[in-house]
Amino acid sequence: MSDTALRNADIDAALAEAKEAYVARNPNSLARYVEATTVMPGGNTRTVLHYAPFPVAMVRAEGCRMWDADGAEYTDFLGEYTAGLYGHSHPVIRAAVDKALDNGISLGAANMTEARFARAVTERFGLERVRFTNSGTEANLLALSTARIFTRRPKVMVFDGGYHGAVFGFAGGGSPINVPFDYVLARYNDIEATRALVAAHADSLAVVILEPMIGSGGCIPASGDFLRMLRAEATRIGALLIFDEVMTSRLAPGGLQSVVGVKPDLTTLGKYIGGGMSFGAFGGRAEIMELFDPRRPDALPHAGTFNNNVLTMSAGLAGLTEIYTPDAALALNRRGDALRDRLNALCAQAGAPMQFTGIGSMLAVHFTRGAVRSPADAAAANQKLKELFFFDLLAHGIWLARRGMMTVSLPIGDAECDRLAGAVQEFLAGRRSLLV
Ligand code: PLP
């Protein structure tokens, strides 16, 4: 056998052993999973939460600590895929929800909180007008449909490896369940090829949508030049530019767009902005958003039973104005930057083919020495080592995404960062022979 084949066999053996220990540690999670498979396909109602041999079930959480069905405690470095920025049961969020509940849940009417929340969101993220939805998926569906109507053009430019919600997955190019728009698939951070593709579809392209840092695809920042090129090209051909800031809005007081200095026509939001409740929003230029003004005879409809539900409106307003202030956003992302630098220094010291990418409070691990500039680069890294890293960190009481993504939420302090650094250091030492 070659050296590589031998190492792969060693990684397989280490993984098998780690999974065996995982199964032994989690009998109650296994029992829950088996029961769930009798009523939900694969025991699952949210694909990202499934992994083999079965997922851990959590029973309780507080701040940045969580406890699973078998009594093990974890430090929550997943932070609900960026939606859990406030931590679990933040007293201010809780008080806002309790107060809202005191006055009824579903009012079937305009309420006193929605416009206040809309003002907080528009001022914070530089939007002229905003509308609320129940999820980021819905926000993107509405924003893309709006762009196609506004420009009277059909095509939607997306990026390979991008993700904009349940029906907008572009890992490996696309998914059969995607909304059947006429897509033009481009390569993230590839300036020349994307410019050529925009030119080739100049008459029919309605909109370009992307995250200014790809989140789910591996926390891969777009270069400023790439974003500036897209802004200039979209304007030149009369297409709209949408930034999906469902995840990245947390990375700076005004969202990541405020850092890179590129203004999209529309922005979509989601995750933590609802204070931990179901949330989505799309907004931007008034001229576009006014298409939804119901006073117009030709107004576009925008329905949604829970669009203005008082729990989300109240939790979101309290979160954005009382907790995640601009100063808090700066401090949290400084903590994230310091943590990522520290973890990367550990990888470099160990000489391991391992690195953490990201910006501020979002990070993802990749097992490669090469630069990670696109989801394709991330996919080319060693996936088995990533799986081993996941199971090893669970064993150390660190909760993270199976795909290696982590976030720093507000309750995470120095002690938690030390714990994560310690777990990474132990992984680097304990798995040294595999990390060559
Ligand atoms: N856009 C991005 C960038 C996301 O990461 C996600 C969810 O992970 C979505 C949209 C969809 O949001 P939701 O899960 O609320 O539908």
Contact 278, 135 (CB under 8 A): yes
- Final residue in a domain of this structure, among 294, 323, 352: 323
| Whole-number Å distance between alpha carbons of 82 and 343 | 20
Answer whether residue 1 shows pLDDT above 80.
no
Report the distance separating Cα 352 and Cα 332, nearest Å: 28
**Within 10 Å of residue 87's Cβ, how many Cβ atoms?**
21
32 and 116 part of one domain? no
Cα(300)–Cα(183) distance, integer angstroms? 23
| pLDDT (average), residues 167-189 | 97
Q: Is 271 a catalytic residue?
A: yes
Q: Are residues 95 and 60 in the same domain?
A: no
Please indicate, yes or no, whether residues 129 and 255 belong to a single structural domain of this protein.
yes
DSSP class of residue 113? S
The reported pLDDT for the residue numbered 106 is 85
Q: How far is the CA of 336 from the centre of ligand 1 (A)?
A: 21
Note the pLDDT of residue 175.
97
- The model's pLDDT over 256-269, given as tens digits with 9 standing for 90+, comes to 999 999 999 999 99
Per the prediction, the chain carries an average pLDDT of 97
Q: How confident is the model at residue 176 (pLDDT cuts 50, 70, 90)?
A: very high
Residues 97 and 76 in one domain: no
- pLDDT of the residue at 3: 84
- Is a pLDDT exceeding 90 seen at residue 409? yes
Nearest CA to ligand 1 atom 2: 164
Residues with CB under 6 A from ligand 1: 81, 135-137, 140, 163-166, 211, 215-216, 244, 246-247, 270, 280
Do 242 and 147 contact (CB within 8 A), yes or no? yes
Q: Out of 283, 303, 323, pick the residue that ends a domain.
A: 323
* CATH code assigned at 132: 3.40.640.10
Q: Is there a single domain that holds both residue 210 and residue 115?
A: yes
| Alpha carbon nearest to ligand 1 atom 13, residue | 136
Distance 206 CA to ligand 1 centre (A): 21
**76 is known as an active-site residue:** no
CATH number of the domain within which 30 lies: 3.90.1150.10
Residue 375: give the domain boundaries: 3-85+328-434
**Number of domains into which the chain is organized:** 2
Residue 83 has pLDDT above 80, yes or no: yes
Longest CA span, the chain: 73
> SS3 for 355?
strand
pLDDT of residue 2: 86
* Beta strand pairing call for 65-68 and 58-62: antiparallel
pLDDT at position 253, please? 98
157 lies in the same domain as 21: no
pLDDT band at 4 (very low <50, low <70, confident <90, very high): confident
Could you give the percent of the chain with pLDDT greater than 70? 100
CA distances from 315 to 15, 39, 99, 104, 321 (A): 41, 32, 10, 15, 10
Put simply, whether the predicted model's pTM sits higher than 0.85 gets the answer yes
pLDDT of residue 380: 96
Same domain for 308 and 246? yes
Mean pLDDT on 202-215? 98
- Residue 414 annotated among the catalytic residues of the structure: no
pLDDT digits (tens, 9 = 90+) for 106-152: 899 999 999 999 999 999 999 999 999 999 999 999 999 999 999 99
Are 312 and 100 in contact by the 8 Å Cβ rule? The answer is no
Question: Which of 393, 369, 395 lies closest to 380 in space, CA to CA?
Answer: 369
Are 26 and 127 in the same domain? no
End residue of a domain, out of 323, 351, 369: 323
Do residue 333 and residue 319 come from a single domain? no
The verdict on 101 and 116 lying in the same domain is yes
Between the CA of 244 and the centroid of ligand 1 the distance, in Å, is: 9
282 and 427 housed in the same domain: no
Q: How far apart are CA 130 and CA 268, in angstroms?
A: 9
Q: Give the residue whose CA is nearest to atom 7 of ligand 1.
A: 165
Task: Indicate which atom in ligand 1 lies nearest the CA of residue 140.
Answer: 10
Rounded Cα–Cα distance for residues 425 and 395 (Å): 14
Q: What residues have CB less than 8 Å from 44, skipping those under 6 apart? A: 36, 50, 55
From the candidates 163, 188, 272, 324, give the one annotated as an active-site residue: 163
Catalytic residue among 68, 76, 160, 244: 244
- The two three-digit tokens of residue 303, written as one number: 């329905």
Strands (E), 251-324: 266-270, 280-284
